[in-house]
Amino acid sequence: MKPVTVATIAEMKRAEEKIACLTAYDFCFAALLDRTGVDLVMVGDSLGMVMQGHASTLPVSVAHMVYHSSCVARGITRALLVADLPFMSYQQSAEQALANAGRMMQKGGAHVVKLEGGEVMAPTVRFLVDRGIPVCGHIGLTPQSVHQLGGYRVQGRGDDAAQRLTTDARALQDAGASLLVLEAIPSTLAGDITRALKIPTIGIGAGVDCDGQVLVLQDMLGVYPHASPKFAKNFMSGQASVEDAVRAYIAAVKAQRFPGPEHSYT
């Protein structure tokens, strides 16, 4: 099967084919997602919460990310592998970001690195892209800033906040980002940003109009022991196997049956 690349997902946006994405942190689940047809596998720093049991993503290190990304990379033959740069591994300088992004690609097998932040990160994105590193942006609810945001709250409500996020999205695109995660923002704003951009948007709690959707694997399997966010749906219920649940998720994303209004914000 032909590997998914950043060019593939750009073409999917043009063709209006929805992009199905899930997180994974190990070899077996990565292989399962890959063979069921997930387009994009994210090794998120959410591993700090769902693999390590922390209350936030802040304790995750580059070494943790490299380890889990390399496990996932060995399970993948088709999907695009996007891996997070964790907290304080890229904010200090563009050179720091380049060194850690290089590790994520060379040792972690990542195809694309993801970093959080809007316009302020645009020069760093440009620095990475000019040196051959594909970048995924992440705006809206950025979990690495949970203490600054005052909790895991919806972002982009109100005209000023919506304008801020729209400016951030354009700045990341102009800096060369290949795709953009929109997390926990009103659906209408996510739809407007998606239509304004040439690069694909991947929503998580951002409504059905994004070009693709992502969920944390443990949320969509209903195995996270603490409360899951409103935007998460347990696809395991009514399914006989994990593989069936993943197939149901992919089908729901492709047919725009997920997320519904009950998983979205106004």
Side-chain-side CA neighbours of residue 138 (13 Å): 23
**Piece of the chain touching ligand KIV by CB under 6 A; list 38-46, 62-70, 71-79, 234-242:** 38-46
In whole angstroms, the minimum distance from the beta carbon of 44 to ligand KIV comes to 2
Closer residue to ligand KIV in complex, CB, 39/45: 45
Kindly tell me which residue out of 6, 13, 23, 81 binds ligand KIV, with binding defined by CB under 6 A: 23
216 lines the binding site for ligand KIV (CB under 6 A): yes
24 lines the binding site for ligand KIV (CB under 6 A): no
142 lines the binding site for ligand KIV (CB under 6 A): no
CA gyration radius for the chain? 17
Q: For residue 110, give the amino acid letter.
A: A
Phi, then psi, of 91 in degrees rounded to 5: -75, -25
Span 170-199, contacts to ligand KIV by CB under 6 A: 181
Q: Is 119 a catalytic residue?
A: no
Find the catalytic residue in 17, 183, 243, 262. Answer: 183
Identify the bridge partners of residue 135 per DSSP, sorted by sequence position: 113
Closer residue to ligand KIV in complex, CB, 34/45: 45
104 lines the binding site for ligand KIV (CB under 6 A): no
Write out the catalytic residue numbers: 183
Which residues would be at the binding site for ligand KIV (CB under 6 A)?
Answer: 23, 42, 44-46, 84, 138, 181, 204, 214, 216
